[in-house]
Structure 1
Amino acid sequence: MNQRALRRAAGLHSRAREAVYGYDFARARAQLEQALAVLADAPAPDHVDLIPMRVRVLVTAAYADTEIGRVDLGLGRLDIADRLVDDIADPGQRTELAGLSLEQRGFLLIRVGRSEEGLQILEQAAEVLERSLADGIGEASVLAILYLNRSLAHIMNGQPDAATAELNRCVELSERYDLDPTISYKAKHNLGYVAYMSGDMPTALRRYEDNARLCRRSALSLLPVVLLDQARAMLAAGLAEEAARTLDEALPLFRKQRGGQDAAEAEIARAAAALLDGDTELARRRARIAERSFAKRGNARWAAIAALTGIRARTKTALRTGRVRQTLVEEAIKLAESLRALMLEDEMALALLLAIRLELRRGDVGAAEVLLDMVPRASSMTPIDHKMLLRLCRAEIAVARGRTRSALAEASAGLGELGRVRDRMGGMELVCGTALHGQELGELAVRLVLDRPRPDPRQLFGWLERTRAQVYRYEPLPAIDDPIVAEKAAELRTLRRAVQTFRLDGRPSSRLEKQTAALEREVLRLGWSSSTWGRPRPVARLDEVTDTLGDRALVSLATSRGALVAVVVTRSRVRMVRLDSSATADEQAARLHADLDALAPDTLPAPVIEVVKGSAARSAGELDAQIVRPLLSLVGDRELIIVPTGALYAVPWGSLPSLRARPLVVAPSATAWLAASTTAAATGRAVLARGPMLTGDVVEQDKLRSVYPRATMLEGEGATVAEVLNALDGAELAHFAAHGEHEPTNALFSRLELADGPLFAYEVARLRQPPRQVVLAACELALNYVRPGDEALGYAGALLAGGVQTVVAATSRVGDAAAAGAMVEYHERLASGVAPARALAESIAQDPFRRPFICLGAG
């Protein structure tokens, strides 16, 4: 009769283990309790034959208990299991089960934050289990899981090499014994976490994306853990919005699985995402939820980390408002002491840094200096945002003591360190995202230069170049063929076209739109880890810029403390001019943009045109008066290179009265302009591509054919994405007459509509030999989504970053007839030998408000 009970208990235990692997702890606990009841109700419940199974059930139940917050219950079950092991007659089985219980105890201690104690126990368990397996006793899966768990302790202790060795052992053992594949999935996932801790974000994100794809296909229960660590890597790369979306997908899955520890960790990560995005109240709420959950579980380490996130949010609010309470300083210092006792060195340092900034804002520089002496040196494993905060605190103390040179040295060292991190990044979004971590340090440096009685414009120029538009500093690497990316891009194109068809037919498309958004994110993430974005170029030196300018002038605009400032560079001198409120300029730029959008339709009645043009003229005049006229005595009648800032990226500069018919180009930085201007020009064919759904005169096809009689013409069904990309590679000039759409929240998915679907910006950005010049004739794809650090991303920006030297595009909507007229005139001048900037200026001067094109890049 005992054999029947044993079989029933074994079956329940097996199913419970499957539920545990799937993070379904509620179901696992129910089955384990049932198994224990079956064993207790056996005819001879104390018989020696039942003891091994009772031990196995107790060990598994201990894990399930701990994962839902019943830590004491879990450890108590292991105490019972240890006592039962002594009654097992067979020595081999006794050894195996003793090792199993030890392994589980060590892991549970790690999960509740007692990693040192847990690691010692795991080392004892490993000796027992390795010896047993060598003697042919026990299950290889137990030892593989031990290696997996021991890697977690090494990860928590900041020992990446030791963690990697354990994970490789786990994978090797899993494959040798053909174990449950979820064990190998977890090990490979943790290899991504080791890469994340080491600062290798492309590798970490690649491993996470690969694992997420595997989990969605064959191990859905593991997906939320993968998403959590993926989001953490995104946060390290400054991608707050992407991290928030990823965590919002993961959290409901964790709650469904009742995975208390991981769910609470996800709440902390969600708080961090909110903090990066500037939502301090949401960050505080999420941190409180996590702290209560960890306290309930008895996990002092993670409860302290959650409390730190809350204090970080409160500190950000206090610094923004200027209302700093002494109690908040005391809380931060007290928490630092707790974190030190818990051996959380990086977190302890962060708490002290927050206290330092609060003390400085209260005016107690001495207290801040005392706290700074307590901050440990940053290690190779210290997160980059913590390192930047340390640099910022040192710089702010130096400012408070009147040591401006020392403060600038800290800023210089910090931005250099951040640059080295950026150089390892894959994908344009990651390169941009990392700028977030150095934003305050860069702003401090610019402010220090401007606050001097006689600001040095040369020094200001240098700092502006170091702190802005870094994505354009990279020389693009040759494209790497990735069949997975190509497959996903084709699928995305098909979905996009299906959404468009559904909308035209009046059918609901919400389901397809959700699928499209998910696939966009997947393609974008694959791009992050395909390779580094490019080979870093040095930031442009002022003498390099002046040597290349010739008779032109460069105007670099920037904002500091709500005021606009311009640095004007000519071959012979450098000057700085203050230009009043940046908010005023931004408001006028937004009004002008709205007016030009309203003017775009070809069929507007003449009275409406006149009214809207009058409004546009007023906004253009206000911008001209604030920004351009104060500079005219310095720039004279020179051709201009304008480096905008913020909302001014959307200004069609040729519409401002003082700049009409003046040749000018817009560049994201002087470094980007210099790189584009000094790159060898491509020589080759012209490509003329026409997309669908255009009015008949938008391209003025016959006239453009006569201008470029040998051009490659792509139109109708022949203007497919593949054909267009193939033609673009190595071309000298590419002219697109195609409708497109600027995607403000995901600039690399701004798109041009071709015969078989959209041509995305990210696809053009990786051409092997991009065209020298690209003209975007029928859409507003000069628009950008401006990220921290004045990183302006959009379709035109992606082309420039990908190696195109000059892009002509509109900053606002433009009518088909207006675009056709402007572009024919432009190409006729261009073909006659006129430079792009001059050809465009002359072409748009006749009707600048309905021809809002700008020349970007080299010109």
Structure 2
Amino acid sequence: GWIQLQLGELSAAEVELRQAVALLDYDGGIHLAVVLGMLADLEIRRGNDEQALAVLDQIGTIHEGVNPASMDHAIALIQRATLLERMGRDPEPAWQRAMGIVGQLPADSALRGEPLVERAHADLRAGRAEAALAGFEAGIASLQQHSPDSLALARGLQGEALARLQLGQLEAAQGAIQKALAIQERDVPQSATLAESLHASARIASARGKLDIARAQSCQASEILDRASLRVGGDSLAQARFRSLYATIYRDCVQAQADAQQPELAFDALERFRARGFRAALEASRFQSRPTLEAIALSHDLEEQATIRANDAALPVELRSEARRQAARISAERAALLARLSEELPAAVANDLASYRSQLPPGEALLSFAAGDRHLLAFLLTHDDLHMASVDIESTALRLEVDGLRQLLIARGAESEWQARAGQFHERLLGPFAAELEALHTLRIAPDGPLHHLPFAALWDAKRQRDLLATHQLIMADGIATATAQDTTPNRRLLAIGISQAPELPAAAATAEPGLRRGLSALPAVKAEIEALAARTGTRRLLDEEATEATVRAALSAADDVHFAVHAVLDPAHDMESALLLHPGTGMPRDDGLLTLREIIAELRIPPGLVVLSACETAQGRNLDGEGPLSFARAFGIAGATTTVASLWPVNDRATAQLMTRFYQFRDQGQAPAAALRQAMLLQAGAASLPESAASDPLRGVGALAPRTRPDSQHHPYYWASFQIWQAR
């Protein structure tokens, strides 16, 4: 299991390690803790942070009871500190305790090297390059003495190279990274570990002015990660989590191609990168038999074993030569397997530019973004051409500007204020393509980074004094591969689900999970919203006590489209436990009234169609870098919905009910979901003022920050620009 883990064969490693845990379960001591530490490492490499932390908690309990001052405990504490840092929590207590244990070791102990290297990596991530370099040098000296040519040494050398890069010591950095690559290419080819070192080498080459080398290495690293992602295993979101850990590597490949004035190669690299984990999860949910994926994984295993034999100096020359021939033969056979996989799981294999263009009819375009550390790249792809532009804005500044516009809109700020901010975004993001946009009526927008939270519909064209929604139909997408025909069939079977009453606690869970329901008010406009939908032909209504989780689950399979008018709550500590609040029913599992992200993704299978989430912040969620928010919209897309309507901020109860009524009126006239939503939003934007009482209407979710202090006109974007339409495939 440990060997498979180092090779990046996470799925195979999990099988071995769980068998080891089963064998050691009787032990309950140090041996079990060591194997659990490998499982925690596996989940950390997958990006499954919550699961990894749970395993580390179990390990900590074992060590505290057996030997709290052991090096095994120190290693587990280092894992914990590194994970807590990634999760945005305080890692220092774990670090201090771990390094306190390490400090008790003799100066020449063989066990000191790896902890010193890991602490140096933490210093490097914190920007303390000089302290990091000193730590790397001490750790490397120990490893060279006790573990020469080991993977642990290679990790130390990689860190040394990056520290020297930050300090401007480019030649020394180059020497260190070459030594690291030599070890990793020999021992762990095609692994994420090798990809990280190739990326480090690319950064050093770029700083030395070797731009062609930097570009080749960045893109080689991203290709290795593509292959490694197929061997991650785990749940349906494992690929998305894994790929999000390496988003910077993918983006640097895109940026390098753009810097080389290769827009087509840059666009291809971006499409290979964007939301591929989510798209793979969507397709895998429908992929019952997985022989091709298993064959590819086995192919990688066999090739790596052959490569190791080919480089084993202890073997006779003829055996090493045969191993090289075997590795080449396996690699060639895998090409046929990948071709078959591209038919079964399209998200696993990137398309070429010609196939992208063929999916775009005249008048439509894909507006695609890549948010790098220093620049924002924008691509406009039409049926006939590809245009690329670079916006000079750092990712941190972009996030602050998006947040600033959102807060102005949520606060229903003055027209002059929000239009000025929205106008800046319009000029930056769309200005480079102004001439091309004149001939377009539909934009499929593939955002990245902070742009996932930007209300594109409200972007303001200062020259023409109109918003983007007034001129273009907008569809949010993961990329051109998600384009699909929209169903315009009238009178589809609609399941309309609403909770107008204040959320209740189930009797069976009165003390178990009150937090998500606490402080949420009734939604009186929901009753009228659901009753209006119930008057449509083919609609089944589930309102209040009727809308138990068990009833909703049973009714989903008979619906073409689904409408939720409920509270939605985000759990910041446990993102997969964020939930749509239904009636609590029996309070038992699967009927406790909390329809969580985890349940939607893992248990629900929605017939292809439309899901409308008439609730707060249903397009928001924990951001997986390069993949986007892990939101309710994403979850229902993975569960089967082809189109999802979701919101970016806490929405007003009465205004939302009016918007949804208009949306379905246009749907009943035969309009596709995107066109119907646009027409409803345009009508809302030109509507008369709300009643005085509407300013104090409840919000559909926790929505704690949305002000309720004055009557307002519905033409303000707060009332309509929150809603977006997503196509999941």
Q: Please indicate, yes or no, whether the TM-score normalized by the shorter chain is above 0.5.
A: yes
Q: Is the 8 A contact 2:370 2:377 kept in 1?
A: yes
Aligned residue runs from structure 1 range 448-467, under 5 A: 448-452=256-260, 455-467=261-273
Using CA pairs under 8 Å that are at least 6 residues apart, name the structure with larger relative contact order, 1 or 2.
Answer: 2
Change (3 A) 1:740 1:831: same
Q: Is the 8 A contact 2:578 2:597 kept in 1?
A: yes
SS in 2 for 1:566: strand
Match of 2:83 in 1: 273
AA matched with 2:44: L
Kindly indicate whether residue 259 of structure 2 is the aligned counterpart of residue 423 of structure 1: no
Kindly indicate whether residue 597 of structure 2 is the aligned counterpart of residue 761 of structure 1: yes
Match of 2:494 in 1: 686
Aligned mate of 2:426, from 620, 624, 632: 624
Question: How much has 1:353 moved relative to structure 2?
Answer: 1.8
Question: How much has 1:640 moved relative to structure 2?
Answer: 0.7
Match of 1:301 in 2: 110
AA matched with 1:755: H
Aligned mate of 1:472, from 272, 278, 293: 278
Q: What per-residue deviation string (whole Å, max 9, x for no partner) do you get for residues 543-595 of structure 1?
A: 22221121212111222233333111112221122334354543342233334
SS in 1 for 2:110: helix
Distance across 1 between alignment mates of 2:470 and 2:568: 27
Aligned mate of 1:633, from 429, 435, 454: 435
Q: What per-residue deviation string (whole Å, max 9, x for no partner) do you get for residues 678-711 of structure 1?
A: 999999632222235253432533432333x112
Match of 1:292 in 2: 103
Aligned residue runs from structure 1 range 454-533, under 5 A: 455-474=261-280, 475-478=283-286
Q: What per-residue deviation string (whole Å, max 9, x for no partner) do you get for residues 496-551 of structure 1?
A: xxxxxxxxxxxxxxxxxxxxxxxxxxxxxxxxxxxxx9885322432222211212
Aligned residue runs from structure 1 range 354-503, under 5 A: 354-374=159-179, 375-378=182-185, 384-400=191-207, 402-424=209-231, 425-452=233-260, 455-474=261-280, 475-478=283-286
Aligned residue runs from structure 1 range 188-227, under 5 A: 196-197=5-6, 199-202=8-11
Match of 1:812 in 2: 649
Kindly indicate whether residue 727 of structure 2 is the aligned counterpart of residue 857 of structure 1: yes
Identical amino acids, percent of aligned pairs: 24
Question: How much has 1:421 moved relative to structure 2?
Answer: 2.6
Aligned mate of 2:357, from 529, 546, 568: 546
* TM-score (norm. length: structure 1): 0.62
AA matched with 1:553: A
AA matched with 2:430: V
SS in 2 for 1:700: helix
Kindly indicate whether residue 456 of structure 2 is the aligned counterpart of residue 653 of structure 1: yes
Match of 1:347 in 2: 152
Match of 1:561 in 2: 373
Question: How much has 1:738 moved relative to structure 2?
Answer: 1.4
Q: Is the 8 A contact 1:738 1:777 kept in 2?
A: yes
Tell me the C-alpha RMSD between the 2 structures: 3.9
Change (3 A) 1:212 1:788: farther
Change (3 A) 1:291 1:681: farther
Change (3 A) 1:561 1:269: closer
Change (3 A) 1:313 1:215: same
Change (3 A) 1:346 1:198: closer
Q: Is the 8 A contact 2:476 2:724 kept in 1?
A: no
Match of 1:575 in 2: 387
Q: Is the 8 A contact 2:620 2:648 kept in 1?
A: yes
Q: Is the 8 A contact 2:188 2:194 kept in 1?
A: no
Question: How much has 1:818 moved relative to structure 2?
Answer: 0.9
Change (3 A) 1:536 1:417: same
Q: Is the 8 A contact 1:721 1:759 kept in 2?
A: yes
Gaps of 5+ in 2: 289-343, 461-466, 502-521, 585-592, 686-716
Q: Is the 8 A contact 1:780 1:811 kept in 2?
A: yes
Question: How much has 1:286 moved relative to structure 2?
Answer: 5.6
Match of 2:639 in 1: 802
**Greater displacement, 646-655 / 574-583:** 574-583
Kindly indicate whether residue 548 of structure 2 is the aligned counterpart of residue 711 of structure 1: no
Distance across 2 between alignment mates of 1:228 and 1:829: 56
AA matched with 1:292: G
Change (3 A) 1:399 1:650: closer
Match of 1:587 in 2: 400
Distance across 1 between alignment mates of 2:178 and 2:397: 43
Question: How much has 1:263 moved relative to structure 2?
Answer: 1.4
Change (3 A) 1:853 1:213: farther
Question: How much has 1:393 moved relative to structure 2?
Answer: 3.3
Q: Which has the larger radius of gyration?
A: 1
Distance across 2 between alignment mates of 1:213 and 1:667: 45
AA matched with 2:405: L
Change (3 A) 1:829 1:559: same
Change (3 A) 1:257 1:673: same
Match of 2:328 in 1: none
Match of 1:491 in 2: none
Change (3 A) 1:768 1:245: closer
Q: Is the 8 A contact 2:493 2:538 kept in 1?
A: yes
Distance across 2 between alignment mates of 1:289 and 1:730: 61
Distance across 1 between alignment mates of 2:37 and 2:244: 21
Aligned mate of 1:739, from 553, 567, 572: 567
Q: What per-residue deviation string (whole Å, max 9, x for no partner) do you get for residues 267-313 of structure 1?
A: 221233255457898386465234224x16x9933321111112222
Q: What per-residue deviation string (whole Å, max 9, x for no partner) do you get for residues 218-269 of structure 1?
A: 9699986665444222222234465356535643652343342331121221
Q: What per-residue deviation string (whole Å, max 9, x for no partner) do you get for residues 418-456 of structure 1?
A: 22232233224422332254334223323323434xx33
Distance across 2 between alignment mates of 1:328 and 1:597: 43
AA matched with 1:537: A
SS in 2 for 1:849: helix
Q: What per-residue deviation string (whole Å, max 9, x for no partner) do you get for residues 758-809 of structure 1?
A: 1112322244453321101132201132222343211111222333211001
Q: What per-residue deviation string (whole Å, max 9, x for no partner) do you get for residues 812-856 of structure 1?
A: 111221111111111111121212112111111223321221111
Distance across 2 between alignment mates of 1:772 and 1:715: 21
Match of 1:29 in 2: none
Aligned residue runs from structure 1 range 155-166, under 5 A: none
Distance across 2 between alignment mates of 1:263 and 1:680: 60
AA matched with 1:715: L
Question: How much has 1:338 moved relative to structure 2?
Answer: 3.1
SS in 2 for 1:743: coil
Distance across 2 between alignment mates of 1:648 and 1:361: 29
Change (3 A) 1:586 1:701: same
Match of 2:577 in 1: 749
Distance across 2 between alignment mates of 1:668 and 1:415: 22
Match of 1:792 in 2: 629
AA matched with 1:854: Q
Question: How much has 1:349 moved relative to structure 2?
Answer: 1.2
**Greater displacement, 387-396 / 377-386:** 377-386
Distance across 2 between alignment mates of 1:370 and 1:211: 40
Q: Is the 8 A contact 1:471 1:801 kept in 2?
A: no
Q: Is the 8 A contact 2:496 2:542 kept in 1?
A: yes
Distance across 2 between alignment mates of 1:633 and 1:765: 41
Distance across 1 between alignment mates of 2:26 and 2:546: 36
Aligned mate of 1:842, from 679, 684, 687: 679
Gaps of 5+ in 1: 1-159, 161-192, 481-532, 600-610
Q: What per-residue deviation string (whole Å, max 9, x for no partner) do you get for residues 174-205 of structure 1?
A: xxxxxxxxxxxxxxxxxxx6764564545666
**Greater displacement, 247-256 / 263-272:** 247-256
